[in-house]
Each structure stands twice: as C-alpha cells, then as structure tokens.
C-alpha cells in the first residue's frame, strides 16, 4: 500500500498538482448513502507527509456525516474534487426546486475543514456532522477524534453516542448489507 501512495504522490506532482506545504495526501474517499434519511457518511483516508519527505501510514483522516432530514430528493450522488491544497467532498441531490448540495472543504496545508461559513481545526477532532434544514441552512458540528481505522458502522455509532439527544441523528441507519 505504501508503494501505491508514493506512486500517487509522484503522479500528482507530475500532473502539476502543487502539494508543497501540504501536511497530508488524501487521494480517495468513500461515502455510504444513509438508509434512513437523505445523506451520506464519508470516510476520507490518507497519509501524513512527514518532515523527512516520506509518506506516513495510511489511515482514516476524516469522518463526515451529512444529513438532510426534510429533503424530498429524486436523485443523489457524491463527488470529490482533489486540489493541490484543498479537497472538496460534495453530497448532492436533485429536487423539484433544483439541485441541492453540501460541500465540505479540507485544506490539507492548514489542516482545516470548512463547512458553510464555519472553519474548524481538524486536529481538534476528525469527525464532523452537517445537518441541512428545510431553508438550506447548514448546522456543522465538530466532534472529538476517533480511531483512524473505524468502519462506517462504528463511526455512526460514535456520532450517535456523542449527539444522543438529537432525534434525527439517533434515527439514522446505514443500509443493510448481505
């Protein structure tokens, strides 16, 4: 796996992506559609770029729960945009009123996460919850960090324990797997 990450760093540099000054590389993302509400649970793996120029061990660096409890959607999807400095993780839906999206930006140089008009230091906690209300307002929340190797089910349980008084969060279920 380490060889794959090193190869990816070299490929990004050859493609003209400026990763200088970045503290992390995060070349992929995974999202799971929620089974109970319109929303997605994102897991963003990556590796720290160490001071000696080497790439650290790959781990889950961010967990992001995006939920739109009152949204009537006909279509949905996710998109990830990888930049030299900022990665953007987009959850989107088609509605009768037009497209709706929630963007989460991670600046890998400053190690900060921007959701709506709020910016968070990822080092304070690697778990984020974003609720979008009927008016389109976002209510982002940062939670403490969790283990870097948790799966979606465990990450959701952690979030639900942390926000146990929120009925929307408590009701979230992931799709059943065979």
The pLDDT value given to residue 20: 57
Q: Return the percent helix, strand and coil in the chain, to nearest 5.
A: 20, 45, 40
- Say if CB 104 and CB 113 are below 8 A apart: yes
The pLDDT value given to residue 8: 43
The pLDDT value given to residue 56: 95
The pLDDT value given to residue 147: 87
- Say if CB 109 and CB 26 are below 8 A apart: no
Dist CA 83 CA 48 (whole Å)? 16
The pLDDT value given to residue 9: 45
The pLDDT value given to residue 45: 96
The pLDDT value given to residue 1: 46
In tens digits, the chain (178 residues) has pLDDT values of: 444 444 444 434 433 344 457 899 999 999 999 998 999 999 999 999 998 989 999 999 999 999 999 898 889 999 999 998 999 999 999 999 899 999 999 999 999 999 999 999 999 999 999 999 989 999 999 999 998 899 999 999 999 999 999 999 999 999 876 5
How do beta strands 38-48 and 59-68 pair? antiparallel
pTM value is 0.87
Residues 6+ apart with CB under 8 A from 26: 44, 45, 46, 47, 61, 62, 82, 87, 106, 108
The pLDDT value given to residue 21: 79
The pLDDT value given to residue 176: 78
The pLDDT value given to residue 48: 94
């Amino acid at each position: 796996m380490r060889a794959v990450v090193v190869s990816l760093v070299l490929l990004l540099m050859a493609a003209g992506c400026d990763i200088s000054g970045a503290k992390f590389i995060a070349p992929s993302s995974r999202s799971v559609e929620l089974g109970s509400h319109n929303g997605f649970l994102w897991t963003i793996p990556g590796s720290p770029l160490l001071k000696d120029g080497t790439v650290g061990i790959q781990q889950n660096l961010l967990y992001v729960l995006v939920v739109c409890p009152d949204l009537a959607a006909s279509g949905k999807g996710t998109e990830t945009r990888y930049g030299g400095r900022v990665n953007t993780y987009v959850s989107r839906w088609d509605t009768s009123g037009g497209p709706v999206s929630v963007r989460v930006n991670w600046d890998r140089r400053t190690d900060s996460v921007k959701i709506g008009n709020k910016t968070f230091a990822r080092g304070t906690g690697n778990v984020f919850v974003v609720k979008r209300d009927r008016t389109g307002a976002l209510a982002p929340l940062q939670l403490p960090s969790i283990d870097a190797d948790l799966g979606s089910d465990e990450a959701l349980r952690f979030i639900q324990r942390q926000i146990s008084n929120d009925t929307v969060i408590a009701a979230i279920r992931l799709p059943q797997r065979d």
